[in-house]
Amino acid sequence: MTSSNTSDVLTYREAVFQTMHAALRDDPRVIIIGQGVDDHKGIFGSTAGLLKEFGPHRVMDTPLAEEGVTGIALGAALNGLYPIQTHIRADFILPAMNQIINLAAKYKYMFGGRFQVPMLIRVVIGRSWGQGAQHSQSLQSLFAHVPGLVVLMMSSAQTILESYPYVIRHHPGPVIAFEHRLMYDLKFHMNELRVDHSPLTSFRIRTGKDVTIVATSIMVMEAVRAAEHLAKYSDIDCEIIDLHCVSHPDTDMILKSVSKTGKLVIADTSWKAYGVCAEICRLVCEKAPNMLKAPVVTLGMQPAPCPTAKSLEDMYYPNLMDLTDAIARLVKNRSNHGIPLPDEKSMADVYKKFKGPF
Amino acid sequence: MKTHPVFADSYEELFYKALRIRLFEERIIDLYPSDKIQSPVHLSIGQEAVAVGVCQALKPSDLLFCTYRSHAYYLAKGGNMPAMMAELYGKVTGCGRGKAGSMHLAAPEVGLMGCSAVVASTIPHAVGAALAAKIQKQDRVIVAVFGDGATDEGVYHESLNFAALHQLPVIFVCENNGWAAYSKVSARQAYSIVKHAGVYGIPTMHIPEGYDFVKVYETFADIVTQAQRTRSPYFVEVQMFRYMEHVGVGDDYRQGIRSRDELEAWQARDPLMIRKDLVAKYTPAVQSEIDAAVRYAEASPWPGRDELLKDVV
Ligand SMILES: Cc1ncc(C[n+]2csc(CCOP(=O)(O)OP(=O)(O)O)c2C)c(N)n1
């Protein structure tokens, strides 16, 4: 991984594209394989033009055959290639669950460590604008549940540049990375890349003393926006942890933070039950229940399939107002905290207009 | 129930039904920039003749399972137009109470048993419904509609095998428009779709004229009769051309994905383009029906908080 010392601005899309391009350029084992990777849209631009530069053996469109192609990628990994598979919606990975969970996750352990199947599966969470029940799911916890898989959630251009090159070069097993469609057009400030340790962990991205917010993917940005709002309109000082590697989070970091603040908000992109929210609660309950000065607060999707109507969609996902209010209530220990809330009820509307830099 | 005009003959009836679908989808294109329809749409413009021909041969009690590209089937099978428009608008009066959008239309009252946005995922449902028909000794037939891309999927093969193995009354209709999104058939398939289906011992038919609703109807009516009689599967592949882009209201000619020549060759045979006399004759009636559907959708309320967690389990 090369370290960049500029504080450039980069979009999420450019970050993914750069890592895909560099992987093909620098590593002859790498192939990118997935539906539409070779077309003019190129997985939201993240693979656009790569076919032309690297040829059809390195950048392959596939039949609509998710289970088969995942098994084929696994076989290729067993024989020396590094496959990067893509799905334009996380939902379309579901037909491949058999290969991922029964095979890829177990290939190392089940044979006593005799094999490695290094591969990266990139999936995109669709959200908003009527994507509905089958084009919007955020399925990280299904995979994070299964030993043998590493599951990442990309919250910024920075984490992409830090994670993908590392994973491709150093991680010898299957990795599933969740990208978020709403972030593709957003610009991010780039800081010095954190190259001193593995990115397969969590990142503390804001230090504060009153409350710990553990967040994933786009909810990390929402947490930052809520924290900035609260810093402006109140004395509430938020600490934010980007969980990032949801399968292997930095437990110590979370516990240390909660021991300092005594208050914990968990904001995930998915359903709360049996998911990231539940898992972080488990960690705290098992390791240090006495640290909590108040019950944990969790935010996620409503416990239903995603509806298409905008009126329902806006209720379905937590918005900035909900998040800010939840933090303020928790810290102030009352609902009439009197802190003005951001007048923002639809994240999709905001991100359409405001593109960063974040 | 709305009443259709009196038709001079059965050709005009089919024409009218196809025109109704085309104009409905053209209205979607007109409305789209207003953001009133906030849901991805997969248009069937250019492919209407197949939906019309197939549905004309079916009874309301015959069941149909479709895909995200099913505006045409919803209308052709007799689904309620205002409820469909309201669904596209995300209104609570929609056929899915605002939870379905364009991709998950359903009208069980006329046999449209659901449309799924995951490719190939409803093909086994048709086979299962046919299994139930067999076990319960029903006389209905079941139809599975899917694209050429769906035949890439493993579940498609599993479904054909099961249907043939158990001799189930299911008709597979493959709408071959040559493309799965931006990927050509030749980039995805090493087999011929009908020959491959034939390997399961399922009788097959290939209809090259997907623009010709009469041809599709007459051929399909014979197939339905045969499937009714033999209570066994049948496979039809229809060649067709989708005029618009895979998803959305634009096209993909400028980007050089498909050629305009090919489009024009299909349009030159498309009755809805050629028979300007019949277009003129029936457009006013269809437009006023669509106007009413739009008015209904606009006047309808949004689903409220009480809908959010309703019907989950
Ligand atoms: C399992 C799955 N994989 C991929 C997709 C993305 N996708 C949606 S439609 C489509 C093309 C399908 O082509 P075809 O079956 O020929 O039907 P058409 O769209 O041409 O009507 C693809 C790849 C999906 N919806 N589901």
Q: Per-residue pLDDT tens for A311-334?
A: 999 999 999 999 999 999 999 999
Q: Where are the domains of chain B?
A: 10-242+259-300
pLDDT attached to residue B168 = 97
User: B123 to chain A, minimum CA–CA distance in Å?
Assistant: 14
pLDDT attached to residue B79 = 98
For range A191-196, the mean pLDDT: 87
Q: Does residue A105 register a pLDDT over 70? A: yes
CA distances from A349 to A87, A137, A138 (A): 25, 19, 20
For range A214-223, the mean pLDDT: 98
User: A312 to chain B, minimum CA–CA distance in Å?
Assistant: 6
Q: How confident is the model at residue B3 (pLDDT cuts 50, 70, 90)?
A: low
Q: CB of B254 within 8 Å of any CB in chain A?
A: no
Q: How confident is the model at residue A1 (pLDDT cuts 50, 70, 90)?
A: very low
Q: For A245-300, write each residue's pLDDT tens digit.
A: 999 999 999 999 999 999 999 999 999 999 999 999 999 999 999 999 999 999 99
Tell which wins on pLDDT, B39 or B49: B49
Contact criterion met (CB < 8 Å) for B118 and A92: yes
Q: How confident is the model at residue A4 (pLDDT cuts 50, 70, 90)?
A: very low
Q: Does residue A5 register a pLDDT over 80? A: no
Nearest of B305, B83, B86 to residue A312 by alpha carbon: B305
Q: Does residue A2 register a pLDDT over 60? A: no
pLDDT attached to residue A348 = 75
**Coil vs helix vs strand at A312:** helix
Q: How confident is the model at residue A7 (pLDDT cuts 50, 70, 90)?
A: low
Helix axes B10-31, B48-56, angle to 10 degrees: 140
Q: For B147-160, write each residue's pLDDT tens digit.
A: 999 999 999 999 99
pLDDT attached to residue A81 = 97
Cβ atoms of residues A217 and A163 within 8 Å? no
For range B236-257, the mean pLDDT: 95
Q: CB of A302 within 8 Å of any CB in chain B?
A: yes
Atom of ligand 1 nearest to the CA of B180: 13
The per-residue pLDDT of chain B, averaged, comes to 96
pLDDT attached to residue A353 = 78
Q: Does residue A51 register a pLDDT over 60? A: yes
Answer CATH for B10-242+259-300 from 3.40.50.970, 3.40.50.1110, 2.40.100.20, 3.40.50.300: 3.40.50.970
Q: Does residue A90 register a pLDDT over 80? A: yes
ipTM: 0.90
The percentage of residues in chain A with a pLDDT greater than 70, rounded to a whole number, is 98
Contact criterion met (CB < 8 Å) for A36 and B118: no
Q: For A58-74, write each residue's pLDDT tens digit.
A: 999 999 999 999 999 99
For range A211-216, the mean pLDDT: 98
Q: Does residue B165 register a pLDDT over 60? A: yes
Cα(A267) to centroid(ligand 1), Å: 32
The percentage of residues in chain B with a pLDDT greater than 70, rounded to a whole number, is 99
The domains found in chain A, sorted by start residue, are 9-189 (3.40.50.970), 203-351 (3.40.50.920)
Contact criterion met (CB < 8 Å) for A39 and B182: yes
Q: Does residue B282 register a pLDDT over 50? A: yes
CA distances from B1 to B71, B79, B80, B81 (A): 19, 10, 8, 10
pLDDT attached to residue B6 = 83
Q: Does residue B60 register a pLDDT over 50? A: yes
Contact criterion met (CB < 8 Å) for A134 and B304: no
Q: Does residue A3 register a pLDDT over 60? A: no
Nearest of A315, A295, A294, A293 to residue A304 by alpha carbon: A315
